[in-house]
């Protein structure tokens, strides 16, 4: 088989559609970060644009460039001309996690401590940088065991947890904003589904993602001019021209943020599970790419995402980078390696030149977010397609913790706004919190256990239960605390009142009991007693 690089068609017409898909996905992540910080916590948007966005963009640039290079290496090694680069971008779940559990609380705590709004924003930024740098080193350390995990965990477990994220978070959450402006959102979503999901060519062969954005922009303009769409829906909080060529982020290289190291420690029990989630997600994505025909080295993929995360943090970024779960979607579009290189160029340009401020101000969220819905649906479908039919139930089981995370996220927003659930409602909210905490790992563990049971491997099912018991004991999954923090089993501190009878000890004991039953069941089966 010929392996010359010249046989690799690294740029095709399909890269154009893939580029718009991946770049808009990343732009949506940046818009989401800035919007949530501003709307939920009153974080100054101009500070976010000048300090947080450039470094966060650099992480995407570094990761996508390296993934482009890895695609060339894989094509040269295999002699194939259809290798698709792994996509990389901002991690959506940890975007929510960093905003609601790290940056936002750190900002409010600083304000309550007497700092003015700019000083409070800077302190929160420094804490976010510390958290991201730690996350990056943690992920590099995890890269060593990433390969064995991929070999041990069944495909239903890996892809099931992936489908859970895709369906519950990446597909559903954007729909909330899409329905906020249906004239823009539903029309753009329909175009995305027609062009990217159904693969119906848009007139004049305009790429589907671009067509959806352009139509959305036209409707937004006409709607605001005629009164169909209220002007209040626009961000309208900044002067974009003031954000051009930001230099404030360069203060990261003075390393003053290291002084916030001690203050960032208390957020690590929140940060580490999200970092671990991206590691599991990276393993999932590698398995997903392999199912689509591109066999990348798992440890290298995880190492790259860790390295890109560290670079982002050192440059002032506050959101983790991670391999995107859309590889099969981009491959089906015809993407090769040009789309990741183009995405790195585009995101780097808008992030470092400050032109992102104009995009943030002018692009309606409902016009850009449908691409996230498409990616989520495509991955959910691929997760079932690449999994043996007998394991479909395991994939479905994996979605349950993610659904709990979705509901829990909305419940936490209501509580933060002043809601005070009592009685049975408080009981249910706490139950959702237990299931939502560490949901990516819970999805993987439950899917692994269910797969083992379907295959009549009771010993393996018992092993999955023991793993769940150990992780529960440390709060990696099923943490009873609202911020999802981890703890030592002998030093949990004061548990919420709702945890009576279902705290870490009881939850761990439940898994241990189930594991013992499965093991005894296996022994009985081998003895011919069943």
Residue 412 pLDDT greater than 70, yes or no: yes
Query: pTM of this prediction?
Result: 0.73
Residue 158 pLDDT greater than 80, yes or no: no
Contacts of 102 (CB under 8 A, 6+ apart): 127, 128, 131, 267, 270, 271
The pair phi, psi for residue 8, each rounded to 5°, is: -85, 115
Residue 496: its pLDDT value, please? 86
pLDDT digits (tens, 9 = 90+) for 83-94: 999 999 998 777
* Residue predicted with more confidence, 238 or 198: 198
pLDDT digits (tens, 9 = 90+) for 360-370: 888 787 888 88
The kind and range of the H/E element at 287 are: helix 268-291
The pair phi, psi for residue 155, each rounded to 5°, is: -60, -35
Residue 266: its pLDDT value, please? 77
Residue 1: its pLDDT value, please? 40
Residue 209: name the closest of 192, 187, 189, 184 by CA.
Answer: 192
Rounded to whole angstroms, the Cα distance separating 88 from 58 reads 12
The pair phi, psi for residue 89, each rounded to 5°, is: -170, -165
Rounded to whole angstroms, the Cα distance separating 457 from 349 reads 52
Residue 175 pLDDT greater than 50, yes or no: yes
Cα–Cα distances (Å) from 342 to 74, 164, 240, 335, in that order, read: 19, 29, 24, 11
- What are the CB-based long-range contacts (under 8 Å, 24+) for 456-461? 458/518, 458/519, 458/521, 458/522, 458/525, 459/518, 459/519, 459/522, 461/515, 461/518
Residue 530: its pLDDT value, please? 60
Positive or negative torsion for Cα 318, 375, 208, 231 = negative
pLDDT digits (tens, 9 = 90+) for 269-325: 668 767 877 887 788 788 889 988 899 999 999 999 999 999 999 999 999 999 987
pLDDT digits (tens, 9 = 90+) for 345-389: 999 999 999 999 998 888 787 888 887 788 778 778 877 887 889
The whole-angstrom distance between residue 207's C-alpha and the CA centroid of its chain comes to: 25
Pairing of strands 88-90, 321-323: antiparallel
Residue 3: its pLDDT value, please? 44
Q: Tokens 């982020």, residue?
A: 249
Q: Left (φ > 0), alpha (ψ -120 to 50) or beta: where does 319 sit?
A: beta
Residue 205 pLDDT greater than 50, yes or no: yes
Residue 4: its pLDDT value, please? 47
Residue 29: name the closest of 316, 324, 466, 426 by CA.
Answer: 324
Residue 479 pLDDT greater than 70, yes or no: yes
Mean pLDDT of the chain: 87
pLDDT digits (tens, 9 = 90+) for 21-55: 899 889 888 988 898 788 778 899 999 999 999 99
User: Are 131 and 267 contacting, i.e. CB atoms less than 8 angstroms apart?
Assistant: yes
Rounded to whole angstroms, the Cα distance separating 50 from 46 reads 6
pLDDT digits (tens, 9 = 90+) for 331-348: 988 899 999 999 999 999
Cα–Cα distances (Å) from 154 to 84, 151, 283, 394, in that order, read: 24, 8, 12, 10
Q: Tokens 């705590």, residue?
A: 109
Per-domain residue ranges for the chain? 12-387, 400-530
Residue 95: its pLDDT value, please? 81
pLDDT digits (tens, 9 = 90+) for 487-496: 888 888 888 8
The whole-angstrom distance between residue 452's C-alpha and the CA centroid of its chain comes to: 27
Residue 152 pLDDT greater than 70, yes or no: yes
**237: confidence class by pLDDT, cuts 50, 70, 90:** low
Rounded to whole angstroms, the Cα distance separating 416 from 420 reads 9
Angle at 88 between CA 86 and CA 89, to 5 degrees: 160
Residue 71: its pLDDT value, please? 95
pLDDT digits (tens, 9 = 90+) for 415-474: 777 788 888 888 888 999 899 888 878 988 999 999 999 999 999 999 999 999 999 999
């Amino acid at each position: 088989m010929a392996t010359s690089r010249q046989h690799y068609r690294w740029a095709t017409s399909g890269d154009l559609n893939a580029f718009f898909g991946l770049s808009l996905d990343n732009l949506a992540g940046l818009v989401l970060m800035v919007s949530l910080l501003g709307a939920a916590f009153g974080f100054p948007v101009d500070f976010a644009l000048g300090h947080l966005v450039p470094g966060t963009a650099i992480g995407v640039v570094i990761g996508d460039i390296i993934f482009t290079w890895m695609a060339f290496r894989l094509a040269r090694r295999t002699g194939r001309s259809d290798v698709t680069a792994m996509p990389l971008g901002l991690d959506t779940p940890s975007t929510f996690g960093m905003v609601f559990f790290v940056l936002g609380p750190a900002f409010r705590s600083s304000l309550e401590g007497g700092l003015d709004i700019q000083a409070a924003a800077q302190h929160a930024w420094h804490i976010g940088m510390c958290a991201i740098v730690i996350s990056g080193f943690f992920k590099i350390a995890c890269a060593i065991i990433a390969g064995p995990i991929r070999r041990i965990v069944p495909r239903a477990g890996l892809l099931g947890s992936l489908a859970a994220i895709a369906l519950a978070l990446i597909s559903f959450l954007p729909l909330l904003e899409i329905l906020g402006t249906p004239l823009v959102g539903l029309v753009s979503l329909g175009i995305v589904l027609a062009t990217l999901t159904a693969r119906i060519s848009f007139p004049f062969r305009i790429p589907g993602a671009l067509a959806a954005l352009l139509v959305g922009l036209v409707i937004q303009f006409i709607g605001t001019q005629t009164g169909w769409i209220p002007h209040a829906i626009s961000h309208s909080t900044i002067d974009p021209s003031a954000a051009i060529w930001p230099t404030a982020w360069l203060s990261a290289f003075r390393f003053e943020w290291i002084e916030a190291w001690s203050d960032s420690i208390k957020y690590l029990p929140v940060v580490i599970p999200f970092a671990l989630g991206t590691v599991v997600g990276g393993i999932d994505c590698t398995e997903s790419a392999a199912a689509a025909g591109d066999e990348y080295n798992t440890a290298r993929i995880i190492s790259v995402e860790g390295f890109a995360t560290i670079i982002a943090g050192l440059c002032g970024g506050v959101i983790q980078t991670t391999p995107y779960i859309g590889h099969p979607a981009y491959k089906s579009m015809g993407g090769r390696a040009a789309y990741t290189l183009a995405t790195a160029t585009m995101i780097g340009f808008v992030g470092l030149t400050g032109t992102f401020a104009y995009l943030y101000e002018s692009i309606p969220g409902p016009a850009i977010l449908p691409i996230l819905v498409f990616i989520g649906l495509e991955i959910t479908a691929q997760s079932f397609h690449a999994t043996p039919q007998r394991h479909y139930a395991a994939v479905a089981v994996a979605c349950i913790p993610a659904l709990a995370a979705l509901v829990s996220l909305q419940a936490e927003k209501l509580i933060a706004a002043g809601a005070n659930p009592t009685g049975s409602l408080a009981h249910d909210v706490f139950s959702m919190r237990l299931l939502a905490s560490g949901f990516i790992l819970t999805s993987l563990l439950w899917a692994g256990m269910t797969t083992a049971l379907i295959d009549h491997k009771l010993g393996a099912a018992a092993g999955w239960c023991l793993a769940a018991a150990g992780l529960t004991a440390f709060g990696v999954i099923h943490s009873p605390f609202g911020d999802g923090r981890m703890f030592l089993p002998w030093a949990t501190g004061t548990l919420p009142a709702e945890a009576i009878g279902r705290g870490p000890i009881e939850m761990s004991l439940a898994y241990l009991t189930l594991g013992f039953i499965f093991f005894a069941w296996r022994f009985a089966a081998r003895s011919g007693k069943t």
